[in-house]
Amino acid sequence: MVGPSSTHTAGAVRIGFLAYKILGEIPKEVSILFHGSFAETYRGHGTDLAIVSGLLGLKADDERIRDALDIAKKKNIKISFRKIDLGNEYHSNTVKIIIKGKVVPKIEIIASSVGGGNVVIVEINGFSTELTGNYNTVITLHKDKPGIVASVTGLLSKYGVNIASMNVSRRAKGRDAFMAIEVDGEISKKFLQEISSLEEIKMVRLLESNSSQ
């Protein structure tokens, strides 16, 4: 990895990379809000460069991490940094990322770097979750209607994919809902295409595991 810290640098790259995969494109505008220890040390430890590197699709061992802001500038990506207090319930090494793309209007992510390069995404667009990136993970935003979960899990069964864990949440009955499914094995393009074709699905993304990236 490019140092100096697995928590503040490698983990931060991982957070940025997962945010990039969730958005599904290189962002055009990013607001990065640092909480706790991140807020106090992000310049000295290069956490700002690390987050931006991940958002550009770079990995933790890429030497271009040091030039991430210059690369983003050349790509006309608008980036801002500031400090935020999210409260004591959040890990000290936490960041909130608000990203806008050309296709996707806005995604908001809250994630923590918990040590040794390991991370956990705790919130996506206001929906609580607990994504580590240790498994291949399918995430969806969809209408809260009966049968959606069964349709998705049925497709997983059709393609012979075993579910390791599953999280479903919603803000209110009948409105938008969020689903995250960690699975054993690979996810095929045909499976993703079939999910995307379901009328109630607004967004589907595949987050590949650490080992497959």
The predicted-structure confidence for 6-40, as pLDDT tens digits, reads as follows: 566 788 999 999 999 999 999 999 999 999 999 99
Q: 210 pLDDT band (50/70/90 cuts)?
A: low
Check pLDDT > 90 for residue 87.
Answer: yes
Looking at CATH, the fold of the domain delimited by 6-125 is given as 60s Ribosomal Protein L30; Chain: A; (3.30.1330)
- For residues 51 and 32, the answer to whether their CB atoms sit within 8 Å is yes
Q: Return the pLDDT at 5.
A: 55
Q: Return the pLDDT at 8.
A: 60
Domain boundaries, the chain: 6-125, 136-212
Mean pLDDT of 133-160: 92
In CATH, what number does 136-212 get?
3.30.70.260
Q: Return the pLDDT at 184.
A: 92
Higher pLDDT, 173 or 186: 186
Q: 105 pLDDT band (50/70/90 cuts)?
A: confident
